[in-house]
Chains A and B, each alone.
Chain A
Amino acid sequence: MARLFALLFALAALAPPPLFASAGQGRGEPRVTAQLRSGVVRLGDRTALVIEVEGTRRARILALPEVDGLALGPLPAPSTGYFTSFVNGRISELNTVTWAIPVRPQREGQFDIPPIELEIEGKRVRTRGVNLKVVADLRGEELGFLEIRASSSKVVEGQPFSIEVRFGWDASLRSINYADLSLPWWGQMPGTLELDSAWPPPGAKVIQHSVTVNSATFVDVEEIEAVDVGGRPYRILRLVRHLVATRPGLIEFPQGFLDFGRIESRIFGRREKTASHFVRWPEFYVEVVPLPEEGQPYDYTGAVGTLDVQATVDARDVDVGDSIKLEVEWTGDGNLEFFGPPDLARMEAFSGFRVYGSVEDKGFARRTVTYDLAPISVDVEEIPPVPLTVYDPELGSYVTVETEAIPIRVRPLKGAVELGSGAADFELDVRDIDARPVGNARAGSALGGLREPPPALVGATLVGVPLLWLGLRTRVRRRGAPDAPIERRRRRARKRLARDLARARTASDELAALHVFLAARSREADQAWVGRDPLAWLRANALGAPDVNRVNGRGEDAAARLAELIARLERSAYAEENGPVGGKEVLRVADGWIGGLERIGETTGGRA
């Protein structure tokens, strides 16, 4: 038994870990490594610090250290990995988290990158420190050429300036087929605006699609005359950017690099640098000073530079009020796109004109404003000069550039009164008095105006009309809603009877029409009056209790005539010929019936 236990124990000790641990190496402590892709790089070249954490997915870098002479970062998003392996019958899993942090040397030297702190599964962990050696590309400095200069090291706020990049290499290097300029300030220089200058200049020898900036943007460069450097000719390319300083201070242009060499294509479309050289240009500065306030006119609109101006018009012989297009064009070295143009409507010199508006065309090389003017008087003889106050950095003072006056002729309109000296000016005046005599008019006449009704009358009408309506409405609705179908049928009974009688061809038709009429008038069904005695019905259905005295007179007469008519119609209907009695007679009797009912008051309807 003891041997058996010992054997089992030995087997357990020799068994692979998965027997004692669940699948997945994550149950162990995570492991972190930090290493540079290259321990030695040339100045201008880049490398990366790769930090990998194995055994977990929950890891993050807390902060990147700062190293003088190296630019670390930005911190990229990590990549994660998941690996499984099947070894000796056991499955093992591995999670990894990896960062590749860019490292860019800024100078030669030996650099210690300190440990980087991470948080792994809630715990703080530090990597080991690494060393990086940066060497100058002596070969690149020898073979290449880079020069970045500003047109001026000191400019005024708002003054444009240019940055010229001249670069190249030994002209004997015919295998060079790529060049990349590393210019951190390109397209994102704080404190400046980039001007939309025409590049390359017309007539330049342009190289296209071969030079990149910051490894991202292809730019067109101008090839200029070869330069002799150290007795050897260098092929020189040129690139110029125009900027305008927007605020006072010091603008720092960081150091730039030229990376040039040869790229060859390999199998499967892969491209490989077979030769690579770097040339560095150090950082430089441009100082921006504020515009001086001393001597700045009130109407200064921000123009800076050395400008010229000229003006033209589209017409010089016009009528009063006719439109004249005055085109003013400024050119020269200045912030042509940014200053405010002169407002002619506010100028005393242009008081003889009405300024309707202006249209502008801005560009790097010129600024054109077209004003729409109209002379308002024949006394206008010229279009006055258009002034613009400009701060000239070369002179260090504010100057005024203005156009030449343009003589014009203004003719009066046909039939118009000549205005100006010697002619009468029109004025506004009040209208004349009303001299019609008074004391003759009566109130209520056209001259006297309406006589006001007493307010009591108005009030009584306002109150009385609704009250009368309410009373009438209540009375009418005691007999039922007047818009109910049975009431509408009753009101239209006479009209319907006339229509039916017009169509009737026989006594039967007339009798049927009469029955429908009587039923509608008594608010009953159509057949209710078949075989009914009108007089008996009348006596039974008069308002109040049946009262012989109430039905005497016209009502009884009407009932008697109706009964007689019904009897005649029945006799005719049942006779062989069934000839009609006559619609007019039927209508006459029907009208008598309606009148007789109204005389004694309406019945309550429907009671037998």
Chain B
Amino acid sequence: MKLLALIGLLTLAAPAADQEGSFGRAVDAYRRGDYEAAESYWRATLEEPLTTPLTTKERARVLYDLGNAAWRRGEALEAVGWYTACIRIDPRNRDAWYNLNRARSESGLEPADRGDLPATLRRLVRSLTAAESAWLVLAATLLLALPLVGEALRGGRAWKGLSLAAALLLLVSLVPWSRRLFDDPGDPYLVIAQPAIVLRAEPREDLPAIGALDAGEEVQRIDELADWLRIERADGEQGWVPRDTLLALIP
């Protein structure tokens, strides 16, 4: 029995050790300057079957490190993709934002955050993770419950005013949560080849171009083959592009 328990523990521990081992090997390779090896180890960290799944923050860190590896390899646009994927799940990662803007600048793209009011509001709404926005809604709801009880038991304008204020606070807190709840992230990909990627009606090189994707453009994957991906642009245009020109933002 004890032996079985020990084997079980070792089994449980092994994948974690491998996972940790892949990450550690990636860091070592990076420090040595072997960026390609570092990238493959970090990819392995993301893709290996996990008994102790990576937390959201840990996944974000690995994506961030993959971005640095791409940057060091001279693939600025690919680095943009990795940093973007990191920020999608860890929106307040300041290092990721900094590196993203650096990589976008190097790639000739506009900054990720233009700094104007709509961009700032958008970033504010997306600055909370799914868990944080859900907890915020819960807290705001419970906060609303207090003045509501007071209003029910005592009435009066003061309790009504407090209830209204708490309701407004709840409404504001609903914005990031509902965005995450109802906004289908789909399967986003980033164009990481320059200057532009030819879009074709079918997955064949000999067909004429029906459009072109710009470097840094985000698209949604609809279908895939071994070497091709069928995508849909923001304006609804669909077509096939080579797989190696796109990077998955939700790896």
Contact = CB atoms under 8 A, between A and B. Distances in A.
B192 interface: no
Interface string B39-71: 000000100001010111110011011011101
A442 interface: yes
A442 B55 contact: yes
Interface stretch (A313-321, A344-352, A476-484, A549-557): A476-484
A266 interface: no
A469 B16 CA distance: 48
A24 to B, nearest CB: 78
A432 B98 CA distance: 11
Contacts of A445: 55
Interface in B175-189: 177, 181
B68 A432 contact: yes
B27 interface: yes
A430 B97 CA distance: 10
B19 A439 contact: yes
Contacts of A469: 145, 148-149, 151-152
A439 B54 contact: yes
B245 interface: no
Contacts of B20: 437-440
Interface string A461-492: 11001101100110010000111100000000
A465 B69 CA distance: 49
Nearest to B57: A449
Contacts of B68: 430, 432-433
Nearest to A470: B152
B55 A452 contact: no
B172 interface: no
A323 B172 CA distance: 50
B65 A434 contact: yes
Interface residues of B, number: 52
Contact of A438 (B45, B90, B152, B153): B45
B11 to A, nearest CB: 15
A455 B181 contact: yes
Interface string A352-368: 00000000000000000
A538 B240 CA distance: 86
Nearest to A452: B131
A438 B181 contact: no
A123 interface: no
B55 A430 contact: no
Given A430-B99, A438-B54, A439-B16, A465 B141 contact: yes
Contacts of B141: 458, 461-462, 465
B55 A483 contact: no
Question: Which of B50, B55, B67, B141 has the most chain A CB atoms inside 10 A of its CB?
Answer: B55
Interface string B127-151: 0011110110110011011001101
Contacts of B67: 430
Contact of B64 (A434, A449, A457, A482): A434
B154 interface: yes
Which of B16, B58, B61, B153 has the most CB atoms of chain A within a 10 A radius of its CB?
B58
Contacts of A443: 55-56
A75 interface: no
A430 B61 contact: no
B61 A434 contact: yes
B85 to A, nearest CB: 14
A433 to B, nearest CB: 4
B103 interface: yes
A431 B79 CA distance: 13
Given A438-B20, A443-B55, A461-B138, A449 B153 contact: no
Interface string A97-140: 00000000000000000000000000000000000000000000
A453 B138 CA distance: 9
A432 to B, nearest CB: 7
Contacts of B148: 465-466, 468-469
A433 B30 contact: yes
A431 B102 CA distance: 10
B102 A429 contact: yes
B95 interface: yes
B155 A482 contact: yes
B156 interface: yes
Contacts of A429: 102
A413 interface: no
A206 to B, nearest CB: 63
A443 B23 CA distance: 19
A453 B145 contact: no
B211 interface: no
B137 A483 contact: no
With a 10 A CB-CB cut-off, give which of B62, B98, B142, B152 has the most chain A CB atoms. Answer: B152
Nearest to A447: B57
A438 B177 contact: no
A207 interface: no
Contacts of A484: 155
Given A430-B68, A451-B131, A439 B154 contact: no
B155 A481 contact: yes
A448 B68 CA distance: 21
Contacts of A468: 145, 148
Contacts of A473: 151-152
A542 B4 CA distance: 71
A476 B27 contact: no
B61 A449 contact: no
B203 interface: no
B31 to A, nearest CB: 8
A2 to B, nearest CB: 111
Contacts of B154: 482-483
B65 A472 contact: no
Contact of B142 (A434, A439, A461): A461
A450 interface: yes
A431 B103 CA distance: 11
Interface string B164-207: 00000000000001000100000000000000000000000000
A1 interface: no
Contact of B65 (A433, A465, A482): A433
Contacts of A447: 55, 57-58
A447 to B, nearest CB: 6
A453 B145 CA distance: 19
A204 interface: no
Given A466-B148, A476-B152, A483-B156, A430 B98 contact: yes
A428 interface: yes
Nearest to B28: A435
A433 B23 CA distance: 12
B23 A439 contact: yes
A370 B67 CA distance: 50
B24 to A, nearest CB: 7
Given A449-B57, A482-B156, 18 more contacts: A429-B102, A430-B98, A430-B99, A433-B30, A434-B64, A434-B65, A435-B27, A437-B23, A438-B19, A438-B62, A442-B55, A448-B58, A449-B56, A450-B132, A458-B141, A461-B141, A472-B149, A473-B152
15 contacts: A428-B102, A430-B71, A433-B30, A435-B27, A438-B45, A439-B23, A450-B135, A453-B131, A461-B141, A462-B141, A468-B148, A469-B145, A481-B155, A483-B154, A483-B155
The 9 closest A-B pairs by CB, nearest first: A483-B155, A448-B55, A452-B131, A450-B131, A469-B148, A473-B152, A472-B152, A483-B156, A438-B58
Interface of A: 428-443, 445, 447-453, 455, 457-458, 461-462, 465-466, 468-469, 472-473, 476, 481-484
